[in-house]
Homo-oligomer: A and B are copies of this chain.
Amino acid sequence: MESSTLKKVHIFSGLDDTELAAVNEIIRVKKFNKGDMVFFDTEPYLGFYIVKTGLVKIYKISKDGKEHILHLVSSGNTFAEVPLFENLGEIKEDDFRYPANAMALEDGTETILVPAHKFKLLLENNRTICLKMLSGFAKRLRHLNRHIEELTLMDVTKRVANFILSEYINKRKTKKDAKEETLPYITLHISKNDMAAYLGTIIETLSRTFKKLHDDNIIEVDGKKIYIKDLEKLRQLAA
């Protein structure tokens, strides 16, 4: 693999070429189509993953089939690193399972598997990766805390408003289009079903919420596009 790909991965971004080569040595690329499983929560833990291209959802399923999405991972980001550090020191990887399910959401999704035991050796001798990993974990923790806050303290409307808003802020941050949009909008990269499962609700309720927001002249939903007709009202709702 070209080391340019690895450099774009947050936890490897500070490494020099020798270190990158060492990483390159141990990784393995896998390709998936939409709907393919990267792993089940019943499988033994092999190592963590990086999304090279595409999108992966990390989710849990209840006994009666209800799904909740914990995390949506886009390219350049890692997932399933947590089990790495739960038995540091000991080398036994047996009976370690993946903590959730992972499914590719787009055709042509490519992931990079970083095997646990080989990576650990690398980690223990490399402070840079260690610190990057810490900052990655910190980011995730903040995100999860926020997620819990939303799930427990906000109703569905507030959660939807927050979702749209943070997608919009995110979009503005990454690709700062010189030209201001006439009508600001976001593009959904996931199905409405997945959006509902991420927001801790179901598709029917999400649909009704969209309708309500539309009737209040706040948004306009057209397929995968959500137009923001009244940013100020949306902000108020989300607060």
Residue ranges of A at the interface with B (Cβ–Cβ < 8 Å): 60-63, 66, 68, 70, 81-86, 88, 99-100, 123-124, 127, 130-131, 133-135, 137-142, 144-145, 147-149, 151-154, 200, 239
Contacts and interface: CB of A to CB of B under 8 A. Distances in A.
A70 B142 CA distance: 12
Given A82-B138, A88-B134, A123-B131, 4 more contacts: A60-B149, A62-B153, A130-B131, A144-B148
A133 B66 CA distance: 34
Nearest to A62: B153
B127 A124 contact: yes
Contact of A68 (B124, B140, B141, B153): B153
A127 B124 CA distance: 8
Given A66-B153, A86-B139, A134 B130 contact: yes
Contacts of A70: 145, 148-149
A137 B63 CA distance: 28
30 contacts: A60-B149, A60-B153, A62-B154, A68-B152, A68-B153, A70-B145, A82-B142, A82-B145, A83-B138, A85-B131, A86-B135, A86-B139, A86-B142, A88-B131, A88-B135, A99-B145, A130-B130, A130-B131, A133-B134, A134-B134, A134-B137, A137-B137, A141-B144, A144-B144, A144-B145, A147-B148, A148-B148, A148-B151, A151-B152, A151-B200
Contacts of A145: 70, 82, 99-100, 144
